[in-house]
Structure 1
């Protein structure tokens, strides 16, 4: 690892640590329901972060990324449930659940990655689409996963040492934020390092990448596995927050919503993935809150519930695509750079080469 790469990695880790601490501190300012929303946003962020790298950097279109979240959620439930029945609790049970989520989601991601190394464009999209459509049938046929009703997830209570400080929803938000930091930070390091360069090279021209000594099959498979592991951790976090996992929560509409979120946020951008994940959770809630406060007739409010959010998402997608093709992250990049430049000193030293002229 070169000095530049090491410095870049250290900066990413430090930034992730600061953002994690800020997010944990913000939970003290939020009510119980908002902390629950924060946990859900963090879970979705795990999935969108992996999806934005998969689509934006390697060009592999996945229409069924929700399946990978479902794999992680089921893996967590299948590992944590028997652990709870055996009398295990606390960090040990949670750790076993996380391990189960990683194993199941990683296995599914590896299979999809091997297929993605051989399939391109609509063929890979069709495969992932078939998986998400077949998920309810698969859960009905596989014994021990609960069928359409799904599986219950053991309740993760607040540890005794923190019981007087944190509420249940706040503790779940803490779990979600910490797990998300562990899941997303390696993706950010991959994006900025040699792995990200290889992904961009494969996306740009596979023949040229091969001539440069890069294996497109290995890069595509690795990208799918990395995205699957992150999505699996997101599924585990969502299972902890909702205490249930069922195929109905990971249908085609949910997978397409994740894809829309990364497009609106900005393909290939980790920050854009965070923006997209927040929109998926907060925009429908905000719209429902406004319609409820508008005093509309009950039948009209019922028809607008859910449908209006989809309409707004579609309009936002069109607006962002037309005005900011790079997504909201690129639209915000300019103002952010101008804001940060104000804090830089204007008394820069004159380069020696100029003083010698």
Structure 2
């Protein structure tokens, strides 16, 4: 009788997931290709101004992703990430000042220069903790861009006016009338996907595990064999390299590298983007970059449509920043990515109820 019931109700074997889901590398590669395709389809449907905004979102997302690794993964607070972006931008401007080097070479060199500076800062930062580290990086954000106006460097770095950057034109194979803004969006999108792919694999690697251990408890990490200082320096190195790449893209997209573009506001905007998206989440870095990049334009349109006075008009973006940040933190303490994850779980439970 029991055997008959077992034949009538056989136990279903568990489904074997596809091979690409089992392999972290293949899974990240799949999402990278999908992301490139989505960015391509988006760029060809946008006008030049929107493509320019897309390029801006890409370099902001790259810098925010680097900050996410530093602060979210390894637990080191940085208020001076805008200074690293400035180094990347000025490196790109100097490289393109007299020669039209290949774009890939310029961006790689700019990222490498900034990463080297980040490693030096990381050596000093490894001795600092909490508010002392935040204060040191804050001083970096305030002091480093102002060096461009120092009398000994004014002729080289352009002083307060900065350096004009002439971005390399699109390849002739794309046609003489190919929009420069779309070409810049393609470059930014490709760089963003590559950075996210590399960082996603870093997070899943033993190095990423060591960073998380250091973030949770430095003493316990040291007892388990993790070299704490080396791990923290590596996090600064990776984060600064991302910021340098973002700075290179910034210079190409905005055709300028000047001290006024890299004030403390930029560093705080990057930190805001990381918190909004979800500190420690690479996808959250993209969400936060989208909001931080587009919110000023949305707020300006809102202020114009409401016919607000000029003294109120300038403060609308700051007010909206605060409102959005408060709402997101109240609803989703883990950032937008935690809300997206919750929505995904909720939808799956409705589609496939147990």
Q: Do the two structures share a fold, i.e. TM-score over 0.5?
A: yes
Whether 1:55 and 2:71 are equivalent positions in the alignment is yes
Instruction: Note closer, same or farther for the CA distance 1:6–1:74 as it changes in structure 2 (3 Å cut).
Output: farther
Q: Distance in 1 between matches of 2:66 and 2:77?
A: 12
Gaps of at least 5 residues in structure 1 are: 85-91, 349-357
Whether 1:228 and 2:240 are equivalent positions in the alignment is yes
C-alpha contact 2:49 2:181 (8 A) present in aligned 1: yes
* Counterpart pick for 1:250 among 256, 262, 271: 262
Instruction: Note closer, same or farther for the CA distance 1:115–1:147 as it changes in structure 2 (3 Å cut).
Output: same
Q: Distance in 2 between matches of 1:323 and 1:272?
A: 15
Q: Where does 1:1-357 land on structure 2 (aligned, <5 Å)?
A: 7-84=23-100, 92-141=101-150, 142-143=153-154, 144-163=156-175, 166-294=178-306, 296=307, 300=309, 302-339=310-347
Q: Distance in 2 between matches of 1:289 and 1:83?
A: 40
Q: Distance in 1 between matches of 2:244 and 2:297?
A: 25
Question: Bigger shift: 273-282 or 314-323?
Answer: 314-323
Report the alpha carbon displacement of residue 219 of structure 1 after superposing the two structures with TM: 0.8
Question: Bigger shift: 325-334 or 304-313?
Answer: 304-313
Question: Bigger shift: 265-274 or 180-189?
Answer: 180-189
Q: Distance in 1 between matches of 2:186 and 2:318?
A: 30
Count of equivalent residues: 333
C-alpha contact 2:83 2:145 (8 A) present in aligned 1: no
C-alpha contact 1:115 1:124 (8 A) present in aligned 2: no
C-alpha contact 2:70 2:236 (8 A) present in aligned 1: yes
Q: Distance in 2 between matches of 1:236 and 1:264?
A: 24
Report the alpha carbon displacement of residue 312 of structure 1 after superposing the two structures with TM: 1.2
C-alpha contact 1:75 1:101 (8 A) present in aligned 2: yes
Gaps of at least 5 residues in structure 2 are: 1-18
C-alpha contact 1:36 1:169 (8 A) present in aligned 2: yes
Question: Bigger shift: 271-280 or 163-172?
Answer: 163-172
Q: Distance in 1 between matches of 2:183 and 2:302?
A: 29
CA radius of gyration, larger in: 2
Instruction: Note closer, same or farther for the CA distance 1:99–1:53 as it changes in structure 2 (3 Å cut).
Output: closer
Q: What whole-Å deviation, never above 9, does each CA across 1:146-187 have from its counterpart, x for those lacking one? A: 111111112321211112673111111111111122222211
Instruction: Note closer, same or farther for the CA distance 1:5–1:55 as it changes in structure 2 (3 Å cut).
Output: farther
C-alpha contact 1:265 1:276 (8 A) present in aligned 2: yes
RMSD: 2.1
Report the alpha carbon displacement of residue 99 of structure 1 after superposing the two structures with TM: 3.2
- Name the counterpart of 2:10: none
TM-score by length of 1: 0.88
Report the alpha carbon displacement of residue 10 of structure 1 after superposing the two structures with TM: 1.9
Report the alpha carbon displacement of residue 199 of structure 1 after superposing the two structures with TM: 0.8
Report the alpha carbon displacement of residue 292 of structure 1 after superposing the two structures with TM: 1.7
Report the alpha carbon displacement of residue 83 of structure 1 after superposing the two structures with TM: 1.7
C-alpha contact 1:76 1:99 (8 A) present in aligned 2: no
